[in-house]
Structure 1
Amino acid sequence: MDETQGWDARVAAVWDEAVLSDEERIVAIDALATERPHGDARALFESAGARDSAGHEVEAEAFYRAALDAGLDDEHRPQAVIQLASTLRNLGRVAESVELLEEQLAAQPTGPYADATAAFLALALASSGDPHRATAVALRALVPHLPRYHRSVHAYADELEQLPPR
């Protein structure tokens, strides 16, 4: 196991530790983050997630943005975008959340985080007052997992998107 894998395993162990309070988790993640070089994207991402999980969205936002600016890898970048967008939605900045998620989905319409991106986009759209478009996004993400009815569900999603927001 190389040094990065060992660090990843220790980070995962902190997240898996059920008895830690939110504040203890922040302290533990921040301690692990200090083992990485200053400005390390992964360390910033983990610190953001710890704060987000604890309900410290304003602090989390700054860490997520720093992590994205520092250049996260292909595994963690979509996660950071999703988590930042969710944080922004919780902070009442729904339009910004929608924009980030739409950009992420356009950049990576397939892949391991495409459905998660669509799910959070649907939530943000619902919060923005556009339940028809939210439902359409969710339906399109669901289509590949259906045993049949792909064409019909796509057509219904298209119809929903033509309806005005409420």
Structure 2
Amino acid sequence: MTAAWEDDLAALWATLDNVSGPDFVAQMELLTARMPPAESLFERGAAFDSTGHPEQASALYREALAAGLVGERRRRAVIQWASSLRNLGQAEEALALLTAEAGQPSDELDGAVATFLALTLADLGREREGLAVALTALARTLPRYNRSAARYAGALMNDTLMNG
């Protein structure tokens, strides 16, 4: 059974492009007051993140995870926190989070983990390794040429390991 606030939350997120950032955050603050603490922290962090405030978002994601956030929201919090850290110039910390997350059980967010891992590696001057991560993730979705794409990604990674 879905909590009653889940529908209200989805409706609020649907308004993101139609309201000002401060109004969106204020509405999120009101809505999350009736949510469990970890979920509330995560959604407030996402609201700050989506309205251009990665500093506030980062702190809230950290708190949400420390409060025991679970399930899909936990994984989203890690991805979004790492993205915020990248935006704040803290790519090494983002890399640590995403590398650990890449080792978690596979789900529909694997591509998002790979995307932000690739971007983080590029931020760190490790573009070839980032490209290999992106190609590996993409290869899993291709109807054809997936083996070739995976081999090219492996070659890029091997080249990075030999020359890095």
Question: Same fold, TM exceeding 0.5?
Answer: yes
8 Å Cα contact 2:5-2:35 kept in structure 1: no
User: 1:83 deviation in Å?
Assistant: 0.3
The answer to whether the aligner puts 1:21 opposite 2:20 as a matched pair is: yes
Residue in 1 that maps onto 2:147: 151
Q: Under a length normalisation based on structure 1, what TM-score does the superposition of the two structures give?
A: 0.90
* Aligned residue identity for 2:151: A
Secondary structure at the counterpart of residue 140 of structure 2: helix
Secondary structure at the counterpart of residue 89 of structure 1: helix
Residue in 2 that maps onto 1:162: 158
User: 1:122 deviation in Å?
Assistant: 0.7
Residue in 2 that maps onto 1:136: 132
The answer to whether the aligner puts 1:90 opposite 2:69 as a matched pair is: no
| Alignment size in residue pairs | 161
Query: Percent identity over the alignment?
Result: 41
Deviations 1:23-45 (A, max 9, x none): 111101111111135xx111000
Q: Which of 110, 121, 126 lines up with 1:125 in the alignment?
A: 121
Q: Under a length normalisation based on structure 2, what TM-score does the superposition of the two structures give?
A: 0.91
Deviations 1:42-75 (A, max 9, x none): 1000000111111111111110001111112211
8 Å Cα contact 2:65-2:77 kept in structure 1: yes
* Aligned residue identity for 1:15: W
Could you list the runs of 5+ residues in structure 2 that have no partner in the other structure? none
Secondary structure at the counterpart of residue 163 of structure 1: helix
8 Å Cα contact 2:65-2:74 kept in structure 1: yes
Aligned equivalents of 1:19, 1:152: Cα separation in 2: 43
* Aligned residue identity for 1:118: A
